[in-house]
Structure formats: structure tokens, C-alpha cells
């Protein structure tokens, strides 16, 4: 597979990626961009990371589905709308046709048999843990797509996840209930009898499932990744994922109708296998939509060959000093503090190297995060007490504590002399010059003008 992919990549790189799209016509340019998109998504899928994460989500879903629905059922029962859950499940399992009704009824029976009162405190905790693990797994998968190494803090994760678990079902079924009530009102029924309103309402009823599915995907792309995702980028990914989900649902339904031989082979397990296959397809669509949203927000990383973006040690020092300057400037001039997303937009680099430098500055007690959502970045102490050479030294000595190396094995008189002279030169040149002096020196302008 790897040799085939490399051959295809070499051919496509020559024919498609080296073409100046701006010099082409509108139609030809659109076709070239479409081929580039298909090529990039082909590379992402053959890289196997998305497929492996989709498989992992299938396993977690099987473990957490009944607990998740049990929690949602309990919340909905308090509002008296728990009877709509079966209808909702049927729409989710619509590609299974008549078998989807039977499968949804079985799932509902499992949910109704869950007795929270007999679980006890430990059992109830495990119930919530199973539910939270699914959302955590989704966040981890989308964070991988957005190159985010650090998940939410425990406090943010607890509050965000619990709001989704407890309020999400109420909002979903309330919206569905309001839509059903509006459609059944006397005014709407009279409008339907008048043309062209009747045709418009009929067309809207056909389009509405697509809109709801696209809205659900868009919400996930905005809320779940631990980074600020632009609404437009999330909407593009949500529309692509929603249309793909509905289209593949139709294709999967056709496959179910013609798959009688699988029933003959697997007997009663056939519906379970088909259900797992549909879960896998659904999660893979979710991850593909997230990848589309990522490339839409960061089109400069939309390249022919997927490579890790690595900075030299010199560029890491420059980036660390720039980050400290940006944070110190806004803090000194009482401007809105910087966030990770804002700094990424300012420096125009991928998330991963920027996040590594910021994490190192945090470990060296040079900057700190606030408890806001998203967290803002502030100096860990007065910028007059933060020396420039401390910033550079923190980057130069990064990971030395993590990977312990016996310096005696790297010792040699000539080498030691060069390193000592280099450290001495840096110390004598910078002295005790602080970030505050850099901010007010006038050598650098207002960073907000470069945003």
C-alpha cells in the first residue's frame, strides 16, 4: 500500500500540485483544487490514523451507548419528553430499514432495564465515567486532527462534558418538539394549502434532516477541540460531513437490502456486525469533516506531502522571545491578553511547535494560563523580573530534566570551554535586560498591527 501511495503521490505532485491555479480559468482551477482535496484526504485515510481512531471510537461507543442513553433518558424523563428517544434512535438507524426499528427497540429495552437506584454510588460513578470516556475519546481524536497535544484541564473537562451530557439531550429534543409543534399548528396547515407555500414547506421538510445533521457536526467541531475553531471553518466541515453522512446512509441502506448472504453466514450476529460497520462509517465521517475544517482554517498547511513541521533551535528561541514579547506587551499596555489561537494566527505556524514553546515557558514559570474559556496567557510574574536570558535559557535547556543525560559522558576539555564561553557571552551581552525593557524599548512596534 505504501509503495502504491508513493507512486500515486509522485504522479499527482507533478501534474496537479505544481500548477499555478491562479493562472487557470475558473472551471479548471476549481477542478484542480478538487483533485488536490481528494489527494490530501486520500493521504490522510491511507495514513491509517483516522481509521484507527474511528475503530477505537466504535469500541468505546459499544461500551458507553447504553449508559449514555440511560443518563439522557433519566434527564428527558424529568421533562416528560423521554418518549421521543425511540423516534430519535430510529432516525439515527434509518439506514438499517425495518431492522433499524427492531434494533432501536432493543436498545430502548436495555435502557429501560437500567436501574440507577440499585447501582449504588460506585456503580453510578462508573456509569458516568463510561459516558465521559466517550466524549474524552472524541476530543482526543479531534485534538489529533487539530495538532493539539494538551487536552482540557480537569475542571473545564468536567464542566463542559457534564453540560453536554445533561443539557444536550434536553436542547435537542426541545428543538425537535418545537419543530413538530410548529408544523402541526393551524396557521402552518393553512399555509401548506396555499401555493407556493405548500411546495416550500414540503421542500423544507426534505432538506431539514440534512440541516439538522450538518448543525450537529458543526457544533461538535466548534465545541469539542481544545482550540478556537472559526464558525465558518466548522460550518464547512459540518456541511461536508452532514451531506456525506446522509449520502452514505442511503448507500448503506441499499447495501443492507442486498446483503442477505451475510445473514445466512452470521445468522443472528449479522445485525450486530452491520451496526458496528455503520458506527465505524459514522465516526470516520466525523473525523473526515474535522480534517476538512482544519484545512479550511489553516489552508497554508494544505500541501501535497504531509510532513511534521519542525523548528530549529534558533527558531525556537526566536519564537519563545516573540511569544514573551506579545504577552508582555499586552499585559504592560493593559490590552486583552493573548490566547493560544490568537498567537497561532499571529505567527502563522502550526499548532504543535507553538504549543510546545508555550508549554516550555509555562514549565519555566515565565507565563501562566487563566481559568477562562479559552484560557488566556499572562506573565507568571512582573515582566520587569523576567530576564530575556531566562527565556532563551529555558528553550536551550528544554527536555534536559525529562531525558536525564550524564554530562560526564559528554565532557571534553575543548568542548566544555566552548560551551562555557558561549554561556558567558550570552550572559554578558544580555545582562539583566528584562522583557519590560524589550516592550518599552521602541525597537518593536505594536503587535496588534501585525495580526
Residues 102-127 pLDDT 10s? 777 777 776 666 665 555 566 667 76
User: Does residue 239 register a pLDDT over 90?
Assistant: yes
Choice among 41-50, 221-230, 232-241, 418-427 with the minimum mean pLDDT: 41-50
How many domains does one find in the chain?
3
Choice among 40-44, 74-78, 275-279, 416-420 with the minimum mean pLDDT: 74-78
Res 179: pLDDT = 56
**Based on the domain organization, do 203 and 318 belong to the same domain?**
no
Given 250, 277, 301, which residue is the final one in a domain?
Answer: 301
How does pLDDT run across 173-224, given as a tens digit for each residue? 665 555 555 555 555 566 666 666 567 666 666 677 778 788 889 988 998 8
User: Does residue 258 register a pLDDT over 80?
Assistant: no
Question: CB-hemisphere CA count at 13 Å for 442?
Answer: 0
Res 240: pLDDT = 92
Give CA separation, 394 vs 53, 232, 262, 357, in Å. Answer: 35, 38, 61, 10
Give CA separation, 133 vs 130, 140, 155, in Å. Answer: 5, 10, 15
How does pLDDT run across 119-149, given as a tens digit for each residue? 556 666 776 777 788 888 888 999 988 888 7
DSSP state of 387: B
**Based on the domain organization, do 426 and 357 belong to the same domain?**
yes
Compute the mean pLDDT over every residue in the chain, rounded to the nearest whole number: 77
The mean pLDDT of 60-79, rounded to a whole number, is 72
**The domain containing residue 399 runs over which residues?**
313-450
**Based on the domain organization, do 152 and 179 belong to the same domain?**
yes
Paired with 369 in beta bridges are 377
- Greatest alpha-carbon pair distance for the chain in Å reads 95
pLDDT band at 267 (very low <50, low <70, confident <90, very high): low
In a domain, 434, yes or no: yes
Q: What is the Cα–Cα distance from 221 to 235, expressed in whole angstroms?
A: 8
**Based on the domain organization, do 83 and 18 belong to the same domain?**
no
In a domain, 350, yes or no: yes
In a domain, 306, yes or no: no
Res 367: pLDDT = 92
**Based on the domain organization, do 286 and 364 belong to the same domain?**
no
Ranges 45-49, 190-194, 367-371, most confident: 367-371
Pairing of strands 367-369, 338-339: unpaired
Q: Which CATH number covers residue 382?
A: 1.10.10.10
Res 227: pLDDT = 84
**Based on the domain organization, do 81 and 13 belong to the same domain?**
no
Given 46, 63, 81, which residue is the final one in a domain?
Answer: 46
Res 202: pLDDT = 62
Cα 397 to the center of its chain, rounded Å: 31
Element (H, E) at 350: none
Res 10: pLDDT = 62
**Based on the domain organization, do 13 and 103 belong to the same domain?**
no
The mean pLDDT of 416-440, rounded to a whole number, is 85
Match 502504491 to its residue by C-alpha cell: 4
Q: Pick the more confident residue, 337 or 164.
A: 337
pLDDT band at 46 (very low <50, low <70, confident <90, very high): confident
pLDDT band at 161 (very low <50, low <70, confident <90, very high): confident
User: Does residue 365 register a pLDDT over 70?
Assistant: yes
In a domain, 307, yes or no: no
**Based on the domain organization, do 61 and 41 belong to the same domain?**
no
Closest among 296, 359, 299, 374 to 323, alpha carbons compared: 359
In a domain, 210, yes or no: yes
Q: Pick the more confident residue, 19 or 397.
A: 397
In a domain, 389, yes or no: yes
**DSSP-derived 3-state class of residue 450:** helix
In a domain, 425, yes or no: yes
**Based on the domain organization, do 63 and 176 belong to the same domain?**
yes
Per the CB < 8 A criterion, the answer to whether 327 and 319 are in contact is no
**Based on the domain organization, do 35 and 56 belong to the same domain?**
no
User: Does residue 314 register a pLDDT over 60?
Assistant: yes
Q: Could you tell me what percent of the chain has a pLDDT over 70? A: 67
Phi-psi region of 227 (alpha: psi -120 to 50; beta: other; left: phi over 0): beta
**Based on the domain organization, do 63 and 23 belong to the same domain?**
no
The mean pLDDT of 310-323, rounded to a whole number, is 87
Res 451: pLDDT = 45
Given 267, 301, 335, which residue is the final one in a domain?
Answer: 301
The mean pLDDT of 257-270, rounded to a whole number, is 62
Per the CB < 8 A criterion, the answer to whether 288 and 262 are in contact is no
**Based on the domain organization, do 402 and 285 belong to the same domain?**
no
DSSP state of 438: H
User: Does residue 8 register a pLDDT over 90?
Assistant: no
Per the CB < 8 A criterion, the answer to whether 5 and 43 are in contact is yes
In a domain, 41, yes or no: yes
Choice among 171-175, 308-312, 320-324 with the minimum mean pLDDT: 171-175
Amino acid at each position: 500500500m505504501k509503495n502504491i501511495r508513493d507512486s500515486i503521490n509522485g504522479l499527482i505532485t507533478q501534474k496537479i500540485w505544481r500548477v499555478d491555479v491562479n493562472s487557470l480559468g475558473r472551471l479548471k482551477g476549481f477542478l484542480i483544487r478538487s483533485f488536490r482535496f481528494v489527494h490530501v484526504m486520500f493521504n490522510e485515510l491511507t495514513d491509517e490514523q483516522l481509521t484507527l481512531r474511528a475503530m477505537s471510537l466504535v469500541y468505546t461507543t459499544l461500551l458507553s451507548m447504553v449508559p449514555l442513553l440511560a443518563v439522557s433518558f433519566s434527564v428527558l424523563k424529568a421533562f416528560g419528553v423521554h418518549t421521543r428517544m425511540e423516534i430519535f434512535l430510529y432516525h439515527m438507524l434509518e439506514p438499517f430499514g425495518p431492522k433499524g426499528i427492531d434494533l432501536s427497540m432493543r436498545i430502548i429495552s436495555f435502557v429501560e432495564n437500567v436501574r440507577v437506584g440499585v447501582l449504588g454510588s460506585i456503580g453510578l460513578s462508573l456509569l458516568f465515567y463510561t459516558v465521559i470516556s466517550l466524549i474524552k475519546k472524541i476530543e482526543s481524536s479531534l485534538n489529533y486532527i487539530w495538532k493539539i497535544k494538551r487536552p482540557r484541564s480537569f475542571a473545564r473537562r468536567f464542566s463542559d462534558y457534564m453540560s453536554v451530557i445533561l443539557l444536550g439531550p434536553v436542547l435537542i429534543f426541545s428543538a425537535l418538539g418545537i419543530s413538530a409543534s410548529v408544523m402541526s399548528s393551524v396557521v402552518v396547515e393553512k399555509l401548506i394549502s396555499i401555493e407556493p407555500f405548500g411546495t416550500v414547506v414540503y421542500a423544507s421538510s426534505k432538506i431539514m434532516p440534512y440541516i439538522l445533521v450538518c448543525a450537529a457536526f458543526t457544533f461538535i467541531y466548534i465545541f469539542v477541540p481544545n482550540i478556537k475553531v472559526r464558525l465558518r471553518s466548522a460550518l464547512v466541515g459540518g456541511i461536508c460531513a452532514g451531506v456525506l453522512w446522509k449520502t452514505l446512509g442511503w448507500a448503506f441502506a441499499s447495501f443492507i437490502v442486498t446483503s442477505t448472504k451475510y445473514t445466512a453466514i452470521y445468522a443472528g450476529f449479522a445485525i450486530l456486525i452491520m451496526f458496528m460497520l455503520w458506527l465505524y462509517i459514522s465516526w470516520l465521517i466525523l473525523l473526515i469533516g474535522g480534517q476538512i475544517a482544519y484545512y479550511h482554517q489553516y489552508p497554508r498547511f494544505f500541501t501535497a506531502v504531509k510532513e511534521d513541521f519542525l523548528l530549529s533551535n534558533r527558531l525556537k528561541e526566536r519564537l519563545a522571545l516573540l511569544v514573551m514579547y506579545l504577552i508582555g506587551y499586552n499585559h504592560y499596555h493593559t490590552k486583552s491578553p493573548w490566547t493560544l489561537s490568537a498567537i497561532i494566527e499571529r505567527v502563522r505556524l502550526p499548532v504543535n511547535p507553538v504549543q510546545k514553546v508555550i508549554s516550555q515557558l509555562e514549565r519555566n514559570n515565565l507565563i501562566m494560563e487563566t481559568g477562562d474559556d479559552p484560557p488566556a496567557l499572562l506573565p507568571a510574574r512582573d515582566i520587569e523580573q523576567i530576564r530575556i536570558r531566562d527565556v532563551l535559557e529555558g528553550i536551550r535547556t528544554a527536555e534536559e530534566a525529562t531525558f536525564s543525560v550524564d554530562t560526564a559522558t559528554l565532557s571534553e576539555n575543548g568542548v566544555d570551554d566552548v560551551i562555557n564561553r558561549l554561556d558567558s557571552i550570552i550572559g554578558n551581552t544580555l545582562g539583566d535586560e528584562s522583557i519590560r525593557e524589550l516592550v518599552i524599548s521602541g525597537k518593536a512596534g505594536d503587535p496588534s498591527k501585525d495580526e
